[in-house]
A = this chain, B = another copy of it.
Amino acid sequence: MTLAVAGLMGAAAHAGVPKYVFFFLGDGMSTAQVNAAEVYLASKEEPLLPEGTRLSFTLFPVQGLCTTWDQFSFVTDSASAGTAFACGHKTKNGVICMDHTGTIPYTSVAKKAKEAGMKVGIVSSVSIDHATPAAYYANQKSRNDYYDISMQLAESDFDYFGGGGPIIPTGKNGDQPSSIEAAQANGFHIVNSRTAFDALQAGQYEKVWAYEPVLDSGSALYYELDRLPGMITLEEFTRKGIGLLNNPNGFFMMVEGGKIDWACHANDGRAAIDDVLAFDAAVQAAIEFYEQHPTETLIVVTGDHDCGGMSIGFAGTQYKTFYHILERQTQSYIEFDKVLTSYKAQGDDPSHLIAAVTAAYGLEFLSPEQKDALKTACDGGDQHACTTLKLALEDWEIQSLVQAYWMSMTPKNLRPTDPQTYLLYGGYEPLTMALTHVLNHKAGIGWTSYAHTGVPVPVFSAGACADSFGGFYDNTDIYTKLLTCMGIH
C-alpha cells in the first residue's frame, strides 16, 4: 500500500532531457507476472481491493507495449533480448551485444552514456555476468562464456556493479587469472560483506563492485521467498548505487530482477510473485530519487520476455482464483529440492517428507473426517480453516504426487526422457514440480511452458522524456529512445 501510494503521488511525465536515467528490467516479466503480484496482494484483502494494491510502477503515467522476437525466433532468450534493448540490434539467441555470427560488436547504451560523461551502474539479482547485465558491458558470441564476460566487467570503466557474484571468476577449471583481482587492478573497490556494504559511501572509491557474500546456485541472490536475515536485497543494491552514482553529470543505472524468470521457468508462482515485489521495492528507491529531481529523472520499467506462459486463471478453477492460499508456501522449489536431496540421502521416514510438503507448500493430506471438521469451521467463519480446506489434496492430486515421488526416487540416469515426461516436469525434480503444479493450479495459476514465450511485454515509464515510451514498438526501439532522451548519438 505504501509503495503504491508513493508511486501514485510522485509519478508524472515531464518534457526535457533526463540527467538521471533508470532502466529496470524484470527478467521473464510480462503483464501476467506483474498482475499476478497485484492479484496476490489484493487477494489478501477482504473485500477484494485491487485498486489499493497496485505496484509502484503500474501507476506510472505512460504505458507502452514492446515486441520481443529475436533475429531467428518469435521467442527470445535473455541474451538476444538484452542485445536488443541495451545495444539496439536483433541477434541470435545466446549472443551478447554482437551480430549473430559473433564477429561485429555493438556498443551499449550504458557505454555511450559513460562516454558522454555520465556515471554508470549495473545491478542484478542474478550473477553479474548473466546475459542481461552482460549486454551492457560485454561483447560475447556466447552468454555461457561467463569467465570471459566477467573479465570484460573487470576491464570496464563503469562506476558501480552490484548484486549477485561472478559465476566462475577463475574460469571453468579454476586455473585462470581471477576476474575479481583483475577488477581490483583496474581500480574497482571490491565489497562482499554486509559490513563493508553498509559502510560504503559516495566519494570513497572511484569504482565499486559489490556482491552479496551468501549466494544461491548460479551465484545469484536468494529468492526473496527464501531470503535470510542480513542478506543484501535488490532494493539495497539499488539505493547504494543511487548514492554512489549521484553526481552533477548524471547517471545511467540498469537494475535487473533476474530471478522472476528463473521462478517462472520452474512454474513457481509464489517465488515469482515475491521476486516481482522485491523488484518493485527497488523501483520504489528510484521513485524516491525521482521525487527529489522530478524534471531531471527518467524511470523506465519493463521485462525482456514472458516466461512460462503464466496465466491469471487455470482450467481447474475456471472463473475463480485463490491466490491467498499461496501465503502458506514458505519455500521456493529450489529449497524444497534441498529437502528432497536430504531425505533421499538419509533414507528418511516418508512421514517426515509429508510433513515437509505441508511446511513448504501448505498442501494438506487430510482424512474425510478432517475435511468435514474444517468445512464446519469454515462455514462458521474461520478463515484459517477455509484456507486449509482449500489446500487439502484430492485423491487424483495425490496420485500425481505419488507418480512423481517414485520418479524422484529413481536415479536420474534411469528416469524416462520421453516428451510426455518433459511436459510433466520440464527436467526439474519430478516431486518438486508436481507439488508446485498442484499448488499453483489450486490457486488458479496456469503455465504452458518451462521456457520463455513470445507475448509482447509492457513498458511503464515516468519522469523526463517518459512520453516517448508510449505506444507499441519493438525492443530495439528502447535503445534508440533512451539515447534520444539523453541527447546521445
Q: Which residues of A contact B (CB under 8 A)?
A: 31-32, 35, 39, 42-43, 48, 50-51, 58-65, 67, 69, 72-75, 77, 93, 306, 309, 311-316, 318-321, 323, 394, 396, 418-420, 422-423, 426, 444, 446-456, 458, 460, 470-472, 474
Contact = CB atoms under 8 A, between A and B. Distances in A.
Contacts of A69: 48, 50
- Chain B CB count within 10 A is highest, among A32, A51, A58, A474, for A32
Contacts of A458: 65, 472
Nearest to A306: B311
Contacts of A74: 39, 42-43, 48, 50, 312-313, 321, 323
B318 A446 contact: no
Nearest to A39: B74
Contact of A316 (B423, B446, B454): B423
A472 B61 CA distance: 7
Given A48-B74, A316-B422, 13 more contacts: A48-B72, A48-B73, A63-B470, A74-B312, A74-B313, A75-B319, A306-B312, A309-B309, A311-B449, A312-B454, A312-B455, A313-B453, A318-B449
Contacts of A444: 75
A228 to B, nearest CB: 32
A77 B319 contact: yes
Contacts of A396: 418-420
Contact of A309 (B62, B73, B313): B313
A75 B321 contact: yes
B420 A471 contact: no
A307 to B, nearest CB: 10
Contact of A313 (B48, B75, B456): B75
Contact of A73 (B63, B320, B447, B460): B320
Contacts of A420: 396
B448 A39 contact: no
A449 B75 contact: no
- Chain B CB count within 10 A is highest, among A60, A61, A67, for A67
14 contacts: A35-B455, A39-B454, A48-B69, A48-B72, A50-B74, A63-B472, A74-B323, A75-B312, A75-B313, A75-B319, A312-B453, A318-B449, A447-B448, A448-B448
Contacts of A323: 74
Contacts of A474: 51
A420 B441 CA distance: 12
A404 B105 CA distance: 53
A42 to B, nearest CB: 7
A240 B455 CA distance: 34
- Chain B CB count within 10 A is highest, among A42, A73, A77, A448, for A448
Contact of A426 (B42, B62, B315, B447): B315
A64 B63 contact: yes
A76 to B, nearest CB: 8
Nearest to A420: B396
B311 A455 contact: yes
**7 closest A-B pairs (Cβ-Cβ)?**
A446-B448, A309-B311, A313-B453, A312-B454, A315-B449, A311-B448, A318-B451
